[in-house]
Amino acid sequence: MLDGLPDLRLILAVGGAAQRWHLGTRNVTATVADWRVHLARGVFPLPHPSWRNTGWLKRNPWFAQTALPALRATLTTILSVNLTESLADDRA
């Protein structure tokens, strides 16, 4: 399916199953902590957004302090590039 998306610029690997599939990793905390390494490959690992992860978020404050701002910046960049390209296509 991903082969059919040639302009895909970022994969959000949300939760352990997605991280195993896209990255071959097993430990969610370690994988998310290494987000910079994975982002270089176009994959941003994230914990599953479940109410059960409240404890994980409390034990790992670095996630909200460093990973989330980086994700926001990455998405802002990708979306602004896509918007610019789309506007250029509309003018052509």
Q: Residue 45 has which token pair?
A: 């690992």
Return the structure tokens found at 70. 């980086």
Angle, vertex CA 84, rays to CA 78 and CA 85, nearest 5: 90
Domains of the chain (ranges, CATH numbers): 2-91 (3.40.470.10)
What confidence score (pLDDT) does residue 81 get?
Answer: 77
Full pLDDT tens readout for the chain, 92 residues: 567 666 789 999 999 999 999 999 999 999 999 999 999 999 999 999 998 899 999 999 999 999 999 999 999 999 887 666 666 666 66
Overall pTM > 0.85: no
Instruction: Dump strand ranges (E) for the chain.
Output: 11-14, 43-46
Count of alpha carbons within 13 Å of 25, Cβ hemisphere only?
24
pLDDT score for 46? 98
Q: How many helices (H) and strands (E) does the chain have?
A: 6, 2
